[in-house]
Amino acid sequence: MENNQFILLVAVCVIANIIRTIYEILKFRKIIKANKITFVLIFTVMILLWVSWFGLCEADAHKINFPEFIKYTGLILSFAGIVMFLAALFTIKSLETYEGDLVTRGIYSKVRHPMYLAFIFWLAGFPVFCDSMYALILSLPLFANVLFWRSLEEKELLERFPGYEVYRKRTIF
């Protein structure tokens, strides 16, 4: 039964990632525009993605048995991702529908894409904390997916904001 739960959670996580990637491509190509409806849909998909991610890390029956300090480093990384995500969210007070000027204050003064970096921290940290072998392996293509989303956003921001190149040179990620 636990194996079926793990497989279901992996399927939900992968499908949610695919949906988010399709959305990012369609948005980048200007086939769809971020609005309240797409926000609700993508926000729901992202909740499914993260609930399934954290669940599958817990449900993974194939354990690595990391030393305690490594496991807790993973937990600290995950917690840092949560803090970074919330700091970014409270700085822009919006997600998909932000239409304002380039945000360069708060966490954005140091990190260009703190939400994506937070995702990467979750993808790396939580499977380590849970000793999850298959989740850690699955995190690799998911890292690539987050980096792909980021690359599309970088192109959009370069087009949208004349000062973005200067901002990009003085910040990380």
For 53-79, write each residue's pLDDT tens digit.
999 999 999 999 999 999 999 999 999
pLDDT at 97: 63
Q: Which segments of the chain have a pLDDT < 70?
A: 1, 95-98
Beta carbons of 135 and 57 less than 8 angstroms apart? yes
Please give the Cα distance from 81 to 62 (Å, whole number).
Answer: 25
Q: For 108, which DSSP code?
A: G
3-state class (DSSP) for residue 67: coil
pLDDT at 110: 97
Among residues 109, 111, 119, which one has the least CA distance to residue 148?
119
Please give the Cα distance from 104 to 84 (Å, whole number).
Answer: 15
Q: What are phi and psi of 64, to 5 degrees?
A: -95, -30
**Domain containing residue 125:** 2-170
Q: Which tokens is 117 given?
A: 């970096």
pTM of the model: 0.91
Beta carbons of 75 and 127 less than 8 angstroms apart? no
For 94, other C-beta atoms within 10 Å of its C-beta total: 13
Domain count for the chain, please give it.
1
